[in-house]
Structure 1
């Protein structure tokens, strides 16, 4: 007689405290209140224990977790779920839309090609990260039903157009759609996101800015690097009175058509990789709060600002290159 084949894999085949605690976490009748699940690399299950038991359960077997996540309906109190950097089949995520209290969801770097759940049931979602998946615009349809969403990361998702209507996400504060090759003719009106504070459009195949600066005047961080944008699109950038970080690197700019002294709160400026000479950067030393400045690969023959004499003396002492001519007295 041939030896019996392997028994079907099940949760109950696992042994030890990890198995028993996870079974308890997924049992609807257990008094435990589950707050969040996270699976980076080999996986973690975070829970707030009602009985004083350990709140972190380490999972050593990914297949074990795959069986556990099928029972999303039992995790009715879950508010945070992180399964990023996991090679999960899309079907294993079926049922996430049953987590009606979910506020944070991270599915980044999961090699997903589709999302087998509906966004319109996740009405409490405030943070969503589905970046670095092969998701086109059609597979992201329904995001505009997330009316409470505040943070959205769609970086590197192969989208050719924004998968939502901007006026449907009135509370959005952080938007990252970098590294998507948008169709240049696609209608994008980010200006309708009146509360937006952080915007990342890095490497998005843009030929023009998809907003007016006066419509996004709450912006604190703006990244439009590696887009072929003409200088005139920045004529009104001084209207961003709250701006702290600005990245215009590799935008094929030949001049910066704005007054530096108007960006009074700017702390970080990146304009590397543009054909900017020293004259086009004159006045940059008027940004009094500037802490980080990147001018690499800008065709400079001299620095577009002056050192204080004290700083210049220190540089001469450290480098030994001789007298520094680019100085202000004092």
Structure 2
């Protein structure tokens, strides 16, 4: 029987008619503002198997707790513990231990007596080292020590041969012990945000590895030995100083996701095209001047992001990426696109803004599934007439193309000009092309396009750049369903506002606060009258992105601080809820 207890004041479990005490195996005292472990727990020390004390203010654990020798799971995250008593060794049947988000500085040496432990979660603690006894937990399969102060691992760490998941993100590690080459059952290894200067050689022996994070370190190259990881499906080495990826990476024949963003790459290895199972390739924010012809070999690719580089032309072989859905090449030096791009029959989203494009190939009209395209900040005067065939096109950004016009604005703001397919007949010109329009800067611009809301979930705006730090947990899904009984539409508006004043006031009544508190995010509650945003923003608009910075999962103070740093103009993406 499981007894769920959520109130501070509780009733002692009843006894049955025969006068026997009921069997209690699980107790949950999570989120009860407890400062001590409740004494009534010990009434069930012989039968208790699972104990949850999550999110309280408990500072120490009583000795009597460790008399609960039937305990299989002990959950103590988000408390105020500073030590883990040596008497934890009495819990000889303990299989799962969670002491994350506390102030624990070390594990006791005799934790080695908890021989059946399989899962230890101790992330977000000031743990500087692990005792040698920790390496005697031979049944350990999952170990989470993210965001601690670890500088090294025990030399005999390789004894933990049953480890399948090892997360050591956000520590101060510079190397791994050689004995780790024995961890052949390891499937997930997270070494992100440490101080490694090279990929550890022991990695070559971890043949079962499927997911590997080494982002946010000090790597300068990816060695060919990485190719020995035949089962690797996910590799993240973004945010390093990598200038070379050796040809041996082609040996990662199972690789599906490759993240090389924010490095110093000037070229990709020719062997990149041999990664036949690759579905996502992110090489944005590098120094690439071209993509190799072999890129066409990525027959399974669905998302390719090469934005923020120095690419002047795309190879014709790029047309062979027949499964591509999303392509981003914004902020490069592209002057034209190869006609072969028209072979992309499944592409739905194209980001080509901030280049030097003067014309587009007629073949782009064959992209029958294209929904969103951003062509702003280029040099085009016309669009191909074939664009009239794009029946699924939902939105197009075209601002800052006829640059002489866009730079002559004298008003406080300039709205981003957009195109909705339903009005394409109005854009026909006599020259057999679509005339390019630019916003007039007088508040009438800023096309709003709509997408239906399904199941109460918020559709994502075009390419929000979210900055999530928790890579192994599901991302939060926001809901904007205030009236689930009726159909809703979400308006996405992209606009530019002059940077005067530098912030949007967010004063509101207590009732407004109550309503907005039901939703997560940064909402506009008041727009300064006669200000540069007054004609475009409305109370209730949710800000998703500003000048490329995500406003998802940040608080009001962070949002205001960020807006104050912007100069000249602020480019916003907002969500606006309207009735159908």
SS in 2 for 1:236: helix
SS in 2 for 1:105: strand
In structure 1, the partner of 2:160 is 122
Q: What does 1:48-87 align with in structure 2 at a 5 Å threshold?
A: 62=102, 71-87=110-126
SS in 2 for 1:165: helix
Task: State the distance in 1 between where 2:162 and 2:99 align.
Answer: 28
In structure 1, the partner of 2:290 is 255
CA gap of 1:258–1:25, structure 2 versus 1, over 3 A, is farther
Q: Pick the structure with greater CA Rg.
A: 2
In structure 1, the partner of 2:257 is 221
In structure 2, the partner of 1:317 is 420
Task: State the distance in 1 between where 2:318 and 2:188 align.
Answer: 32
CA offsets per residue over residues 5-57 of structure 1, 9 Å max, x none?
xxxxxxxx954159756767745x823334x86746769xxxxxxxxxxx999
Asked if the contact 2:146/2:171 (under 8 Å) is kept, the reply is yes
In structure 2, the partner of 1:97 is 135
**Structure richer in helix, relative to its length:** 1
Asked if the contact 1:166/1:190 (under 8 Å) is kept, the reply is yes
SS in 2 for 1:175: strand
1:207 is aligned to 2:207: no
TM-score of the two chains, using structure 1 as the length reference: 0.73
Deviation at 1:167, TM superposition (A): 3.2
SS in 1 for 2:262: coil
CA gap of 1:101–1:198, structure 2 versus 1, over 3 A, is same
Task: State the distance in 1 between where 2:76 and 2:316 align.
Answer: 49
Deviation at 1:66, TM superposition (A): 6.7
1:289 is aligned to 2:323: yes
Structure with more relative contact order (C-alpha pairs < 8 Å, separation 6 or more): 1
1:149 is aligned to 2:186: yes
1:270 is aligned to 2:294: no
Task: State the distance in 1 between where 2:216 and 2:101 align.
Answer: 33
What is the count of residue pairs matched by the alignment?
A: 296
1:170 is aligned to 2:204: no
SS in 1 for 2:314: helix
CA offsets per residue over residues 212-269 of structure 1, 9 Å max, x none?
24422211111222333333x3323221110011011122111111356532221221
Asked if the contact 1:119/1:146 (under 8 Å) is kept, the reply is no
Task: State the distance in 2 between where 1:104 and 1:133 align.
Answer: 18
TM-score of the two chains, using structure 2 as the length reference: 0.44
Deviation at 1:160, TM superposition (A): 1.7
Asked if the contact 2:197/2:220 (under 8 Å) is kept, the reply is yes
Task: State the distance in 2 between where 1:108 and 1:61 align.
Answer: 10
CA gap of 1:190–1:260, structure 2 versus 1, over 3 A, is closer
Asked if the contact 1:127/1:149 (under 8 Å) is kept, the reply is yes
Asked if the contact 2:220/2:244 (under 8 Å) is kept, the reply is no
Task: State the distance in 1 between where 2:226 and 2:207 align.
Answer: 11
CA gap of 1:213–1:159, structure 2 versus 1, over 3 A, is closer
Task: State the distance in 1 between where 2:289 and 2:240 align.
Answer: 20
Deviation at 1:158, TM superposition (A): 0.6
Provide structure 1 residue ranges, at least 5 long, that are not aligned to the other structure. Answer: 1-12, 44-54
Match of residue 301, structure 1, among 345, 356, 362:
356
CA gap of 1:71–1:256, structure 2 versus 1, over 3 A, is same
SS in 2 for 1:128: strand
CA gap of 1:260–1:290, structure 2 versus 1, over 3 A, is same
Asked if the contact 1:190/1:210 (under 8 Å) is kept, the reply is no
